[in-house]
A and B are shown apart, each in its own frame.
Chain A
């Protein structure tokens, strides 16, 4: 029974890891950018949802998508203001060293953004943790065999799965999705066949930051909301991305579930003090035996 409970909760958390990891891996695959500020978009999603709930009123689970769109717009603005000029500089650059330094610039820039957003949240919403009220967290679903969880958790899981399926369909079957995949494979070739890669970058930023924000918005009512909440998930998101293969969307989804499940079972069998270690051990083993990640990097 304990095992079943652990598997159930592990999978539910895994779905959320998947949503956060997918956004991070997309940005890496398409834009070749390691976004260390990814967790802060998750945090902004939670705070935007909270702000909408207090301003408009209504259930956070209904307002979280709205918050995701708003944060996605912030993502586009950041792309236009900060990242675009770096990409234009990159176009002129020659040689491997230039690319290497370009990568460092992006890393520094996103770390800076991360600090900026955390401090901004501290100023705007204050240091005291907030809970987003939702009646759904109080409604407990009871299953036979003493298993129970809140309806909110179930909804978060369903939203996560629906989002992942929707994203997959979008990338696979729509024209824009194909253009995104083409840009991920080879930006210069994509440009040659008439893809406006800057527009693709805008869309990728929107999707990536929006997905992170959606995860923050639907988790906000279940856990609670505080300025450094993004820093607490970003390391896990990178583990998911690396384990799944950097830039591989399906890989990240699978890795999300794998790590969610492994943490739960690791906690059960090894002792909960090793729960956090389990995720990193899996990442190290994957890097060792299959450095490209469980499904290989970059493929869509």
Chain B
């Protein structure tokens, strides 16, 4: 009896080892066969699902386009999409699945910086490429990882360019800041505040709100009492729309400036006339006349029936960098591909893109103002001069007094 039991145990163990070994052998060696798998991680459910949708639609479109043109080095690209809900624990599990079971060659994502930072080490250890199209935390591309590439401006780039424009063009004496109470909001307020302070602007109010808040009247009322010349806000589209509406409700009609997070047509629909006059950063405008951008917008509209938000442009450019990098390297060897991507310079939806040593794309940030053009709310590009579409209009002119 004892013997048969131990035989049974040994048998089971042996079976497990054989199956595991067989599985391992069939799975290693990236991109064996006629397809190469890539993963997308994005918040497709939960409170940030509206942004995840942009990423997902752009990724599906990009992969279809690549495959239509014959794939990359003769291989078809297969997209595996994982939902993270912007939750680092969920995302870690999803990335493990992508790395071990799906054996992806590259991962695209995420939206939330906290998630990107959480999954980045395991992707780097597995020597897979990570393309970051949306997360802006400056730290992501400052850790010296060879296989990380970010195809959008980071928080530091967009926030300092925003602050510089404000100081130069609005010439404020005082400023107030309002941000979401997390790493994104706190980093944003710190960078912007330090930058304008160094140029002689006084910060008269610094307020925060928690994620999931819908009422901002207590923050706005304090800002109103401090009477600043300009108000800098870090918020997603939902909060930003509420903030502007409630500011006007309590009679606060100062110049608001925001980061790139509000660049979407959905935001304009949500905030409606309260968005009028807002100045914010944009990585990408669907009205752009540049051929690569116009082609992307046309394809996106044909496929999904709506204009792409800038997150979509970041994802699109990430797939472009991936395709061009592999083709330039002429091999799937991940080290050679990483080197090739570093030496790329290409026209993406967001403009001319090339990477620095850290894999950070040196993209140009646009500053836009929401204005009424022919009775409709439009983002009008104010800066840089090459893309300029109109003049800045101060809130006194828009709202009177």
Whether B249 contacts A153 by the Cβ 8 Å rule is yes
Establish whether residues B45 and A119, one from each chain, have CB atoms under 8 Å apart when the complex forms.
Answer: yes
Residues of A202-249 contacting chain B, CB below 8 A: 219, 223-224, 226-229, 231-232
Which positions 4-19 of chain A face chain B at CB distance < 8 Å?
5-6, 9-10, 13
Contact status A232-B212, CB under 8 Å: yes
Interchain CA distance A13-B49 in the complex, whole Å: 27
Cβ A5 vs Cβ B221 within 8 A: yes
Are A224 and B242 within 8 A (Cβ)? yes
Task: Give the residue name and chain of the A residue nearest to B226 (CB).
Answer: A2
Chain A residues within an 8 Å CB radius of B213? 232, 275-276
A52 interface residue (CB < 8 Å to B): no
- Nearest B-chain residue to A228, judged by Cβ: B47
**Does B379 count as interface, using CB distance less than 8 angstroms?**
no
Complex: A146 Cα to B238 Cα, angstroms = 27
Check B217 for interface membership: any CB of A closer than 8 A.
yes
Stretch at the interface among B59-67, B265-273, B284-292: B265-273
Do the beta carbons of B53 and A2 come within 8 Å of each other? no
B218 in the interface (beta carbon within 8 A): yes
In the assembled complex, which residues on chain A have CB atoms less than 8 Å from the CB atom of B238? 129, 224, 226
Q: Would you call B49 and A273 a contact (CB within 8 A)?
A: no
A-B contact count (CB 8 A): 106
Contacts of A226 in B (CB 8 A): 47, 50, 238
Within 8 A of A (CB), among B206-234: 207-210, 212-215, 217-219, 221-222, 224-225
B210 touches A223 (CB 8 A): no
Quick check: A9 and B218 within 8 Å, CB to CB? yes
Highest count of chain B CB atoms <10 Å: which of A10, A127, A271: A127
A267 with B46: CB separation less than 8 A: no
Q: Is the CB of A224 within 8 A of B249?
A: no
Choice from B45, B218, B248 contacting A272 with Cβ under 8 Å: B218
- Contact A129–B50 (Cβ < 8 Å): yes
Give Cα A58 to B44, complex, Å.
33
Q: Which residue of A lies closest to B47 (CB)?
A: A228
How far, in whole Å, are A118 and B212 apart by their CA atoms in the complex?
Answer: 15
A13 to B210, CA, bound (A): 16
Q: Does residue B251 face the partner (Cβ distance < 8 Å to A)?
A: yes
Q: Is B212 touching A231 in the complex (CB atoms < 8 A)?
A: yes
Chain A nearest Cβ from B39, distance in angstroms: 20
Which residues of A sit under 8 angstroms from B249, Cβ to Cβ? Answer: 140, 148-150, 153
Q: Does A163 sit at the interface, judged by CB under 8 A?
A: no
> A224-B241, A226-B47 are contacts. A232–B215 as well, Cβ < 8 Å?
no
B45, B210, B251, B270: the one contacting A148 at CB < 8 Å is B251
B217 touches A9 (CB 8 A): yes
Q: CB of B76 within 8 A of chain A? A: no
Give Cα A142 to B250, complex, Å. 9
Check B325 for interface membership: any CB of A closer than 8 A: no
Question: Do A146 and B251 have beta carbons less than 8 Å apart?
Answer: yes
CB atoms of A272 and B209 under 8 A apart: yes
Q: Smallest Cβ distance from A138 to chain B, in angstroms?
A: 8
Determine the chain B residues whose CB is within 8 A of the CB of A263 once the complex forms: 218
Which residue of chain B is the closest to A263 with respect to CB atoms?
Answer: B218
Cα distance A2–B218 in the bound complex, in angstroms: 9
Residue B280 at the chain A interface, CB threshold 8 Å: no
Whether the Cβ atoms of B215 and A223 lie closer than 8 Å is yes
Give the distance in Å from the alpha carbon of A229 to the alpha carbon of B222 in the complex. 26
Query: Does B362 interact with chain A (Cβ within 8 Å)?
Result: no
Determine if B209 and A1 form an interchain contact, defined as CB atoms under 8 angstroms apart.
no
Tell me if A122 counts as interface (CB < 8 A to partner B). yes
Contact with B along A146-157 (1 / 0, CB 8 A): 101110010000
Which chain B residues border A2 with CB–CB below 8 Å?
221-222, 224-225
Contact check: which of B218, B242, B251 meets A275 at CB < 8 Å?
B218
- Of all chain B residues, which has the CB nearest A146? B251
Contacts of B250 in A (CB 8 A): 5, 148-149
- Tell me which residues across on chain B come within 8 A of A271, comparing CB atoms: 207-208
Contacts of A272 in B (CB 8 A): 207-209, 218-219, 222
Chain A residues lying within 8 Å of B212, measured Cβ to Cβ, are 231-232
Residue B342 interfacial (CB < 8 Å): no
Bound Cα distance A148, B266 (Å) = 28
Q: Which B residues, 244 to 284, have Cβ-Cβ distances below 8 Å to chain A?
A: 245, 248-251, 266, 269-270, 272-273
Between-chain CB contacts (< 8 Å), 6 pairs: A6-B218, A13-B217, A127-B52, A129-B237, A130-B270, A148-B249
Q: 6 tightest A-B contacts by CB? A: A127-B49, A232-B212, A267-B218, A273-B208, A223-B214, A9-B217
Starting from the known contacts A231-B47, A232-B212, A275-B210, 19 additional A-B residue pairs (CB-CB under 8 Å) come to: A2-B224, A9-B218, A13-B217, A127-B44, A127-B49, A127-B53, A129-B266, A131-B241, A131-B270, A131-B272, A140-B249, A148-B250, A149-B250, A224-B270, A226-B238, A263-B218, A271-B207, A272-B208, A275-B218
